Amino acid sequence: MKKMINLNRRLFLKSATASAVIGTGALLHVPRRAWAGEGKLATLIDLTRCDGCRDLEVPACVAACKKIKTGSIPEPVDPIPIPFPTRKVEDWSKKREVSDRLTPYNLIFVQKVDADVDGRKQTVFIPRRCMHCDNPACATLCPFASNHKHPNGAVMIDPDTCFGGAKCKTLCPWEIPQWQSGIGVYLKVLPTLMGNGIMVKCDLCNDLLRQGKKPACIEACPRQAMTIGPRGEIFARAEELAKKIGGYLYGKTENGGTSTIYVSPVAFDRLDASVTKGSGRPGLGSVKRKMEKTDGLGKVVLATPAIGIAAGAFAFISKRKNGLKRED
């Protein structure tokens, strides 16, 4: 726990200062572009190969992820403080075995879809986790600058500075980040008024990537349905495969482009129409970049403190003048 909340003081103080200036509204965090470019990694997920590991109780990719991430989240405090005014707490610590949806303790799962293709049923298995977008709004607009696009393409949340505000989940068109209350730095600040835990999602096993190894899910896949490599090569391979099977791509343009590209024998709009969607179970619809104009928001975000201060000053002066008039 101590390691978890051992803050980078500079980042924290910068965020806390911004919060104090603006009050309960948006924080002073300048949006930044985080475009993925050449040299970045990308993942190809071939849905013609994935069979959901039907002979296993839990798909191999899911089991491998759970294993490598065991112990990465500290135990939440008991009892968990009830935040005001939402009074909403998310606690998955007693449901860690769940593997059929995304949770803070389950960062990848496999969706089974029985799609209707020209009057016949076609079953497709789809591994789902963070798409690691090229220009992620979750990173550009994180109020505490806790979410970052790393040079290798991975989008990662820093648990040492995350307050669990869930802005990243709101901005993600697939609502990938998951929430665990009762953990993190907010407990040392204002546990009932500011924050509510930490947000958790796939980090592409960035620690393994730095060692020249593959992410655990990719390494564990018995059918080699997932491949990781240089972005240009992976995208070219996906295009070639889709052309070869007369298939479809997903992830190339969705949300402005991602570092994860799916190849499917079934059109994704058909899959989206048949897949079970809900909390922790994202859909497969075509999505434009949810915050398409985030770069233009920089001026607005920068102006917010000045506007707030000016408004406060105006209100104070007006109140003061009215008071003086009454005294006269």
Q: Is residue 323 part of a domain?
A: no
Q: Is residue 1 part of a domain?
A: no
- Reference 198, options 34, 97, 108, 72; nearest CA is 72
Residue 42 has pLDDT above 70, yes or no: yes
Count structural domains, the chain. Answer: 1
Residue 2 has pLDDT above 80, yes or no: no
pLDDT per position as a tens digit, 70-117: 999 999 999 999 998 888 999 999 999 999 999 999 999 999 999 988
Neighbours of 314 (CB within 10 A): 10
Residue 283 has pLDDT above 50, yes or no: yes
Q: Is residue 282 part of a domain?
A: yes
Q: Is residue 278 part of a domain?
A: yes
Confidence class for position 7, pLDDT limits 50, 70, 90 = very low
Domain that holds residue 184: 9-299
* Torsion on CA atoms 228, 208, 35, 148, rounded to nearest 10: 150
Q: Collapse the DSSP code of 70 into the 3-class scheme (helix H, G, I; strand E, B; otherwise coil) and give the result.
A: coil
Predicted local distance difference test score (pLDDT) of residue 118: 87
CB crowding 95-124: b at 16 or more within 10 Å, else e: eeeebbbbbbbbbbbbbebebeeeeeeeeb
Q: Is residue 254 part of a domain?
A: yes
Q: Is residue 309 part of a domain?
A: no
Q: Is residue 327 part of a domain?
A: no
Residue 178 has pLDDT above 70, yes or no: yes
pLDDT per position as a tens digit, 271-282: 999 999 999 999
CATH code of the domain containing 215: 3.30.70.20
Rounded CA-CA distance 191/189 in Å is: 6
Average pLDDT of span 174-189: 96
Q: Is residue 222 part of a domain?
A: yes
SS3 string, 182-234, reads CCCHHHHCCCCCCCCCEEECCCCCHHHHHCCCCCHHHHHCCCCCEEEEEHHHH
DSSP sequence for 38-58 = TT-EEEEEETTT--TTTTSSS
Residue 18 token pair: 């911004």
Residue 245 CA: distances (Å) to CA of 45, 233, 239, 266: 14, 18, 10, 10
